[in-house]
Amino acid sequence: MKHKIAVYSGSFDPIHFGHLDMIERASKVVDKLIVSIFHNPAKKCLFTVEERRMMLEELLKGKPNIIVDSFEGLLVNYLRKNGLRVVIRGLRAVTDLDYEFQIAAINRTLFPDIETLFLMPRQRYTYLSSSAVREVASFHGDLAKLVPPLVAERLKQKFPLKKQ
Protein backbone atom coordinates (compact mmCIF):
# COMPACT_ATOMS: atom_id res chain seq x y z
CA MET A 1 0.00 0.00 0.00
CA LYS A 2 1.42 3.37 -1.04
CA HIS A 3 1.16 6.23 1.46
CA LYS A 4 0.58 9.83 0.47
CA ILE A 5 3.54 11.81 1.79
CA ALA A 6 4.00 15.55 1.33
CA VAL A 7 6.53 18.18 2.34
CA TYR A 8 5.58 21.58 3.71
CA SER A 9 8.75 23.65 3.74
CA GLY A 10 9.55 27.14 4.86
CA SER A 11 11.87 29.20 6.99
CA PHE A 12 9.40 29.30 9.91
CA ASP A 13 11.30 32.24 11.41
CA PRO A 14 9.25 32.34 13.57
CA ILE A 15 6.46 29.81 13.41
CA HIS A 16 3.07 31.52 13.64
CA PHE A 17 -0.60 30.57 13.70
CA GLY A 18 -0.80 30.74 9.89
CA HIS A 19 1.91 28.08 9.61
CA LEU A 20 0.21 25.91 12.20
CA ASP A 21 -3.11 26.26 10.37
CA MET A 22 -1.49 25.12 7.11
CA ILE A 23 0.26 22.21 8.87
CA GLU A 24 -2.95 21.08 10.55
CA ARG A 25 -4.96 21.23 7.34
CA ALA A 26 -2.27 19.63 5.17
CA SER A 27 -1.84 16.79 7.67
CA LYS A 28 -5.49 15.86 7.10
CA VAL A 29 -5.09 15.34 3.34
CA VAL A 30 -1.94 13.22 3.42
CA ASP A 31 -0.91 10.17 5.37
CA LYS A 32 2.40 11.72 6.41
CA LEU A 33 3.47 15.37 6.40
CA ILE A 34 7.10 16.37 6.63
CA VAL A 35 7.47 19.92 7.92
CA SER A 36 10.92 20.81 6.71
CA ILE A 37 12.77 23.94 7.79
CA PHE A 38 14.61 25.52 4.89
CA HIS A 39 18.03 26.77 5.97
CA ASN A 40 19.34 29.52 3.74
CA PRO A 41 22.84 30.49 4.90
CA ALA A 42 22.59 33.75 2.93
CA LYS A 43 19.56 34.85 4.96
CA LYS A 44 19.99 36.27 8.45
CA CYS A 45 17.41 34.47 10.57
CA LEU A 46 16.27 35.43 14.04
CA PHE A 47 16.21 31.81 15.24
CA THR A 48 18.71 29.07 14.46
CA VAL A 49 17.51 25.99 12.61
CA GLU A 50 17.80 24.04 15.85
CA GLU A 51 15.70 26.58 17.76
CA ARG A 52 13.02 26.48 15.06
CA ARG A 53 13.12 22.68 15.01
CA MET A 54 12.71 22.47 18.79
CA MET A 55 9.75 24.88 18.73
CA LEU A 56 8.06 23.00 15.87
CA GLU A 57 8.60 19.63 17.54
CA GLU A 58 7.13 20.94 20.78
CA LEU A 59 4.13 22.53 19.05
CA LEU A 60 3.46 19.44 16.91
CA LYS A 61 4.01 16.73 19.52
CA GLY A 62 1.15 14.28 19.72
CA LYS A 63 0.58 14.41 15.95
CA PRO A 64 1.93 11.05 14.78
CA ASN A 65 1.66 11.72 11.05
CA ILE A 66 3.82 14.88 11.20
CA ILE A 67 7.61 14.82 11.15
CA VAL A 68 9.92 17.84 11.52
CA ASP A 69 13.07 17.95 9.40
CA SER A 70 15.39 20.54 7.84
CA PHE A 71 17.39 20.99 4.68
CA GLU A 72 19.76 23.34 2.91
CA GLY A 73 19.86 23.95 -0.82
CA LEU A 74 17.23 23.29 -3.44
CA LEU A 75 13.92 21.80 -2.39
CA VAL A 76 13.96 19.50 -5.44
CA ASN A 77 17.26 18.00 -4.28
CA TYR A 78 15.78 17.39 -0.84
CA LEU A 79 12.77 15.70 -2.45
CA ARG A 80 14.90 13.49 -4.71
CA LYS A 81 17.21 12.51 -1.86
CA ASN A 82 14.23 11.42 0.25
CA GLY A 83 12.18 9.82 -2.52
CA LEU A 84 9.42 12.43 -2.26
CA ARG A 85 7.45 14.29 -4.92
CA VAL A 86 4.57 16.21 -3.34
CA VAL A 87 4.96 19.74 -1.96
CA ILE A 88 2.39 21.75 -0.04
CA ARG A 89 2.52 25.53 -0.41
CA GLY A 90 0.32 28.20 1.11
CA LEU A 91 -1.36 31.04 -0.72
CA ARG A 92 -2.35 33.88 1.59
CA ALA A 93 -3.38 36.42 -1.02
CA VAL A 94 -3.25 37.11 -4.75
CA THR A 95 0.20 38.62 -4.25
CA ASP A 96 1.53 35.18 -3.24
CA LEU A 97 0.17 33.55 -6.38
CA ASP A 98 2.70 35.02 -8.83
CA TYR A 99 5.70 34.15 -6.65
CA GLU A 100 4.45 30.66 -5.76
CA PHE A 101 3.52 29.94 -9.38
CA GLN A 102 7.07 30.84 -10.47
CA ILE A 103 8.63 28.64 -7.80
CA ALA A 104 6.35 25.72 -8.66
CA ALA A 105 7.21 26.08 -12.36
CA ILE A 106 10.95 26.21 -11.67
CA ASN A 107 10.70 23.20 -9.36
CA ARG A 108 8.79 21.25 -12.02
CA THR A 109 11.40 22.22 -14.63
CA LEU A 110 14.17 20.89 -12.37
CA PHE A 111 12.19 17.85 -11.22
CA PRO A 112 9.34 16.95 -13.62
CA ASP A 113 7.83 14.40 -11.20
CA ILE A 114 7.06 17.04 -8.57
CA GLU A 115 3.48 17.97 -7.73
CA THR A 116 2.76 21.20 -5.88
CA LEU A 117 -0.51 21.47 -3.97
CA PHE A 118 -1.66 24.91 -2.93
CA LEU A 119 -3.72 25.45 0.20
CA MET A 120 -5.24 28.66 1.43
CA PRO A 121 -5.12 29.42 5.15
CA ARG A 122 -8.18 30.32 7.10
CA GLN A 123 -9.17 33.90 6.38
CA ARG A 124 -8.06 35.16 9.79
CA TYR A 125 -4.45 34.20 8.93
CA THR A 126 -4.21 35.65 5.42
CA TYR A 127 -2.40 38.76 6.71
CA LEU A 128 0.08 36.87 8.86
CA SER A 129 3.76 36.59 7.93
CA SER A 130 6.93 35.86 9.87
CA SER A 131 8.33 39.28 9.02
CA ALA A 132 5.22 40.97 10.45
CA VAL A 133 5.51 38.85 13.61
CA ARG A 134 9.19 39.79 14.00
CA GLU A 135 8.32 43.48 13.64
CA VAL A 136 5.53 43.33 16.24
CA ALA A 137 7.88 41.45 18.59
CA SER A 138 10.70 43.96 18.08
CA PHE A 139 8.38 46.75 19.29
CA HIS A 140 7.08 44.59 22.17
CA GLY A 141 3.56 44.38 20.75
CA ASP A 142 0.90 41.87 21.76
CA LEU A 143 1.74 38.53 20.14
CA ALA A 144 -1.18 36.52 21.58
CA LYS A 145 -3.18 36.40 18.33
CA LEU A 146 -0.12 35.84 16.14
CA VAL A 147 1.94 33.05 17.69
CA PRO A 148 1.55 30.32 20.33
CA PRO A 149 2.76 31.19 23.87
CA LEU A 150 5.95 29.12 23.42
CA VAL A 151 6.97 31.20 20.40
CA ALA A 152 5.93 34.46 22.07
CA GLU A 153 8.20 33.65 25.00
CA ARG A 154 11.14 32.88 22.69
CA LEU A 155 10.51 36.14 20.79
CA LYS A 156 10.55 38.10 24.05
CA GLN A 157 13.97 36.58 24.77
CA LYS A 158 15.21 37.74 21.37
CA PHE A 159 13.80 41.25 21.91
CA PRO A 160 14.24 41.99 25.62
CA LEU A 161 12.78 45.19 27.04
CA LYS A 162 15.42 47.90 27.37
CA LYS A 163 15.79 49.40 30.80
CA GLN A 164 15.15 53.14 30.91
Amino acid at 9: S
Other Cβ atoms less than 10 A from the Cβ of 107: the count is 19
2 catalytic, yes or no?
A: no
Catalytic, out of 16, 92, 134, 154: 92
> How far is the C-alpha of 7 from the C-alpha of 86, rounded, in Å?
6
CA 145 to chain centre: 18
Inter-residue contact 115 to 86 (CB < 8 Å):
yes
108 catalytic, yes or no?
A: no
Residue ranges of E strands in the chain: 5-10, 32-39, 66-72, 86-90, 115-119
Catalytic, out of 3, 43, 44, 163: 43
> How far is the C-alpha of 14 from the C-alpha of 157, rounded, in Å?
13
Catalytic, out of 9, 11, 19, 27: 19
19 catalytic, yes or no?
A: yes
130 catalytic, yes or no?
A: yes
| Number of residues written out for the chain | 164
> How far is the C-alpha of 143 from the C-alpha of 29, rounded, in Å?
29
Catalytic, out of 52, 53, 130, 154: 130
Q: Which residues are catalytic?
A: 19, 43, 92, 130
